[in-house]
Structure 1
Amino acid sequence: MTNVLILGANGKIAKLAETQLLAETDHHLTLFLRRASRLTVADSTRETVIEGDVTDQPQLENAMKGQDIVYANLGNQAIENQAKSVVAAMKATGLKRLIWISTLGIYDEVPGKYGQWNHQMLDGGYLETYAAAAKVIEASDLDYTIIRPAWLSNKDIVSYETTQKSEPFKGTEVSRKSIADLVVSLINKPANSIGQSLGVNQPDTDGDKPSFY
């Protein structure tokens, strides 16, 4: 059994990962979010809910006690400060393994017309803040994996491939269910992809923009 702390536990990907973890593993999940009333607990014997703010480091440190892995499903204008708080709290508590959800384009790694479209859609505060947060994670001494999804769909499909930080991004879209499956696989095999930043896309979705735009 692994103790997993999920930050931003009410996010769409996080909830898919939580469902999969409960169905396929015996892990214990600590669900950390700002408004606990939004979350429905499926198994009270394996889920603990903590209401809190990720930028409150003492609160975060308390939640990290006894945990094995931190999975951060965060995202807003404060994500750089959230990253700093997560790194500091993990350092203070001796936790090492971090799975961090980011976004495509933070390294200007998306080629061609799709890359231009992605900049048009995400420049002006989104890509910049996510890139800054990723730099905080990469500068830490944590055993991190950064996940950079393509544009997200709600398709009921698990189909994905990955690229490394140094490689051009592939594809235009990926399902949230696929990203959740990747997160679960990293939780189950935490030695995999340490120190890597993974671009994630559904195969054969190349184009100038996602199919749903």
Structure 2
Amino acid sequence: MTNGLILGAHGQIAQLVRQRLLTETDVHLTLYLRNSDRIKKTNPQRETIIDGDVNDYHRLTTAMKSQDIVYANLGGRFEPMAKNIVKAMTANNINRLIYVTGLGLYHEVPNPFGQWVEDSVGHDVMTDTRRAAQIIEESKINATIIRAAYMDNNDEIDYELTERGTPFKGTVISRKSIADLIVKVIKNPKLYENSSLGIAKPGTNGDRPMF
């Protein structure tokens, strides 16, 4: 049985991934989040809930024990969290990570939308995001970085992927689509190894998010 650790388990995408994994696989899930009373076990035999902060290295390292794959879907200051994730995974000899972040890591978003993203998100946040991704990419961790367009809650799975080094396509993406990609990688960890993938809905190019 595969053991999977979800960091930020209360997030909307994380909850979609959790329910699909419980339905479609036999993965045992460790759900790691602050204020763990916000969620309840759906399947007590296959779920463990840990109340913890990713910035708490000791707590995170303990949660990492016996895990096969880590999926991180976080908010806050990303650089220190990325450092802790890489350090804790290395200490526990875990080598597979799925890391969800936003578009624009490599200035890969064509203008004028690319400039709009920079202005909307802000320089400090974008710099923090880029440093976090760089920490992961420069580590020895086998990571799939998912660079998501602006998210919506549409009830659809419809997406295209762009590789690092190619222009980002699209402006929006459903959370269900991101969850679908994550579930595919957890089911088949050899999929998209050591990669950075842009994800957006086809046909949504524009100067602003096409909601």
1:98 aligns with 2:77: no
**Partner of residue 190, structure 1:** 189
Distance in 2 (alpha carbons) for counterparts of 1:210 and 1:124 = 19
Distance in 1 (alpha carbons) for counterparts of 2:27 and 2:42 = 14
Distance in 2 (alpha carbons) for counterparts of 1:165 and 1:102 = 14
1:53 aligns with 2:46: no
1:89 aligns with 2:88: yes
The runs of at least 4 aligned residues of structure 1 exceeding 2 Å deviation read none
Q: Percent identity?
A: 49
**Partner of residue 74, structure 2:** 74
- Unaligned runs of 5+ residues in structure 1 are none
Distance in 2 (alpha carbons) for counterparts of 1:89 and 1:112 = 38
**Partner of residue 31, structure 1:** 31
Distance in 2 (alpha carbons) for counterparts of 1:205 and 1:118 = 15
Task: State the 1:125 CA deviation.
Answer: 2.2
Amino acid at match of 2:185: L
1:145 aligns with 2:134: no
Amino acid at match of 2:59: Q
Question: Number of residue pairs matched?
Answer: 211
SS in 2 for 1:163: strand
1:42 aligns with 2:64: no
- Unaligned runs of 5+ residues in structure 2 are none
Matched ranges for 1:190-209 at <5 A: 190-209=189-208
- 1:174-197 CA-partner distances (Å, limit 9, x unpaired): 000100110000000101111110
Task: State the 1:124 CA deviation.
Answer: 3.0
State the Cα RMSD in Å.
Answer: 0.9
TM-score, scaled relative to structure 1:
0.97
Distance in 2 (alpha carbons) for counterparts of 1:126 and 1:45 = 39
SS in 1 for 2:131: helix
- 1:71-118 CA-partner distances (Å, limit 9, x unpaired): 011121x21000000000011110000000111011110002111211
Amino acid at match of 2:39: L
Amino acid at match of 1:159: D
SS in 2 for 1:87: helix
**Partner of residue 164, structure 2:** 165
TM-score, scaled relative to structure 2:
0.97
Task: State the 1:30 CA deviation.
Answer: 0.3
